[in-house]
Structure 1
């Protein structure tokens, strides 16, 4: 007798992999799921489980060449299961039985909702939980001391008039300003499926892949993301040329130091192997501080990976005064 979906997920909690819960709601951008999943298929240590709302499945009927099917998603690399509302209660409830939305929440290191429709945005910010996905969101584990420890990434996708509606602005303010465990990737301006031109189309799927990789640490197979570790991540201090942006590597006088925690380390080495040189190694914030304090007069920049201290890569370029203040105030007890 086969296990229920919830029991299967419970059995995979400690599989040593990074866990991405990828969800889609009712928007035509749902058809981008295969590209997103395929691009993430290069990481053997990544496990993906997919949630489809009822309205999202309408775009996965194979009606045209560009439209995949629900069944085809399950065949893509690293996809271990695809779930819909009817999977929630496949067996009569009994006490101590595994419950699907709870097990999915326990299992996931990161939830990415791509796309998030106007309807789902309204439901989430209003606290409704009447299907599998909204139950996962409402049951999400929130750490008050570090709300970004377990992120929910959302990529809104809707008609331009929906996007510009005053209600949308109010709902987005809740996610952006109040609920710090959400990260909103804004839509782009383009001609929509309905023929209108304006902002509302889901951001480019390749941008989403990059954000997911960075937040999940998928570029580093040795990252602590697989075990759910947070601020106590392995990192390296590098000498580097001083740049205003990571992508600008024009020749300038070398200065210290770029600091990298977690999954970004491997990507930086791959991108700039001729520029960076490892000069120190640390495991904890205590050893990190010990390395940095003697070097503060020479430090020019700082980059911290997304899982650390509630921040995201490329937002962490610090000038020397800010950096010294940050680490002077750091609690290393």
Structure 2
């Protein structure tokens, strides 16, 4: 009796080299999403950023963040123009060849600004501790101090008020030099209902305000040709 092999060919790794894809006169925005339900706002953030002239975006997603949106959501929001990079792209099925581009280094070279939105409690702790155990944390550890980097925390109220959170934020602000914005309810701002049902501190800064950080920093101008948003309601405000 003969058998037919049903094995599939190994997927080919995606290549990315900053020098080949950076475009002069454009703003290169790197959006990092981590394991908070606020990652569901990533497609909205991407679509709004793309409504500005001369703005290019790459997304780096932790494995946990893709529980809340899909690569297809980003493709829909961007018209297929934005790539979502994951651990599999850095450590794929093929053997590394000396001299090949290293993804987290190339993404670092590409970015003019980095937004960690949302930043979960887990990723915050990893950043403060210097861990490099996935594409997100490896990229952040490799960033140049001159690259503007913004953290937008998002977590349950008790996770945010945990004593270690304040220590982690102090390291991130004072030693690493990232700008931390939010969460809602912190530093005298108004809290809101969280996804878990609690009300208080912890919700991520509104996605439109996150986009506003980039717009203000780089003086971005709206593209008059951008069509109205058509993203489905399940990921809207």
* TM bucket normalised to smaller: 0.7 to 0.9
Q: For residues 30 and 20 of structure 1, what CA distance do their matches in structure 2 show?
A: 16
Q: Quote the residue 1:134 is aligned against.
A: 137
What is residue 55 of structure 1 aligned with on the other side?
64
Q: Name the residue aligned to 2:99.
A: 96
Q: Secondary structure at the match of 1:76?
A: helix
Separation (CA, whole Å) in 2 of partners of 1:207 and 1:14 = 26
Structure richer in strand, relative to its length: 1
> CA, structure 1 residues 217+121, in 2 after alignment: closer, same or farther (shift >3 Å)?
same
- The structure with higher relative contact order (CA 8 Å, sep 6+) is 2
Match in the other structure for 1:170: 167
Cα deviation digits, residues 200-240 of structure 1 (max 9, x gap): 0101111111112122432399xxxxxxxxxxxxxxxxxxx
Could you tell me whether the CA contact under 8 Å between 2:34 and 2:62 is conserved in 1?
yes
| Runs of 4+ that moved beyond 3 A | 2-10
Gap regions ≥5 residues in structure 2: 1-10, 185-190, 224-237
Shift of residue 137, structure 1, vs aligned partner: 0.3
Determine if contact 2:50/2:56 at 8 Å carries over to the other structure.
no
3-state SS of the aligned residue for 2:125? helix
Instruction: Please state how far the C-alpha of 1:42 moved relative to its aligned partner.
Output: 1.6
Q: Which protein shows a greater Rg?
A: 1
**Number of residues of Structure 1 aligned to a counterpart in Structure 2:** 205
- Distance between the aligned counterparts of 2:136 and 2:194, measured in 1? 25
Deviation of the 1:166 alpha carbon: 0.8
Match of 1:269 in 2: none
SS of the residue corresponding to residue 116 of structure 2 reads: strand
Matching residue of 2:71: 70
1:85-127 Cα shifts (integer Å, max 9, x gaps) = 1011334211111011010000001110100000000000000
Match of 1:41 in 2: 50
Superposed displacement of residue 9, structure 1: 4.2
From 194, 216, 219, the counterpart of 1:217: 219
Contact 1:6/1:99 (<8 A) preserved: no
* 1:307-331 C-alpha deviation (Å, 9 max, x unpaired): xxxxxxxxxxxxxxxxxxxxxxxxx
Question: In structure 2, how many angstroms separate the alpha carbons of the residues matched to 1:99 and 1:73?
Answer: 23
TM-score (norm 2): 0.80
